[in-house]
């Protein structure tokens, strides 16, 4: 049985407001460029690369935005819990509850690319405890499980 904690899921303008508030609370500035990058990321239904985000922001701003600039912003978003990096896909997803600090488990569909996150504090806590026992500090579990989502499994 998964042990989950309670958090509030945000979407739409509420998600952007929550992200802004979380970034400012972390001592960072919510600039126009950061707002545009977060809005582009939050509008996606699948994990996207920094290049995808750069293209979206470039189109919105009607000027070329370098992927390197977007990478720096996405790295900041990951550090401040506004976004999550799907390691195996080198892609990013907006965190729908940016004020909540926890490790999550990604469930990735090999057919459609959908990514769902699951919370299991007992599992991720056990991973952190094992790492600490081995002498590691400041560990961040990255757990990704691949398979087929319920929709794709029904189609197959």
* CATH topology assigned to domain 12-94: Arc Repressor Mutant, subunit A (1.10.10)
If we measure between CA atoms, which residue out of 149, 1, 18 comes closest to residue 81?
18
State residue 11's pLDDT score: 52
Residues 46, 59: Cα–Cα separation, whole Å: 19
Quote the pLDDT of residue 2.
45
The hierarchical CATH code for the domain 105-155 is: 3.30.1490.190
Instruction: Report CA-CA distances (Å) from 142 to 39, 41, 84, 91.
Output: 24, 20, 10, 13
Query: Does the fold of domain 105-155 match that of domain 12-94?
Result: no
Listed by start position, the domains of the chain span 12-94, 105-155
Query: pLDDT tens track of the chain, all 156 residues?
Result: 444 545 555 555 678 999 999 999 999 999 999 999 999 999 988 899 999 999 999 999 999 999 999 999 999 999 998 998 988 888 999 988 786 666 778 899 999 888 887 878 888 889 999 999 999 988 878 788 999 999 999 886
3-class SS at 118?
Answer: strand
pTM: 0.79
């Amino acid at each position: 049985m998964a042990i989950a904690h309670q958090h509030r899921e945000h979407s739409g303008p509420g998600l952007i407001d929550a992200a802004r508030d979380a970034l400012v609370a972390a001592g960072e500035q919510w600039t126009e460029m950061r707002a545009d990058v977060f809005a582009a990321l939050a509008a996606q239904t699948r994990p996207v690369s920094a290049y995808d985000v750069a293209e979206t922001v470039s189109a919105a701003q009607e000027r070329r935005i370098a992927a390197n600039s977007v990478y720096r912003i996405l790295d900041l978003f990951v550090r401040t819990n506004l976004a999550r990096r799907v390691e195996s896909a080198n892609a990013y997803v907006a965190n729908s509850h940016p004020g909540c600090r926890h490790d999550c488990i990604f469930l990735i569909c090999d057919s459609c690319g959908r990514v769902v996150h699951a919370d299991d504090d007992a599992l991720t806590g056990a991973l952190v405890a094992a790492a600490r026992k081995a002498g590691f500090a400041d560990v961040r579990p990255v757990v990704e499980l691949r398979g087929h989502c319920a929709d794709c499994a029904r189609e197959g």
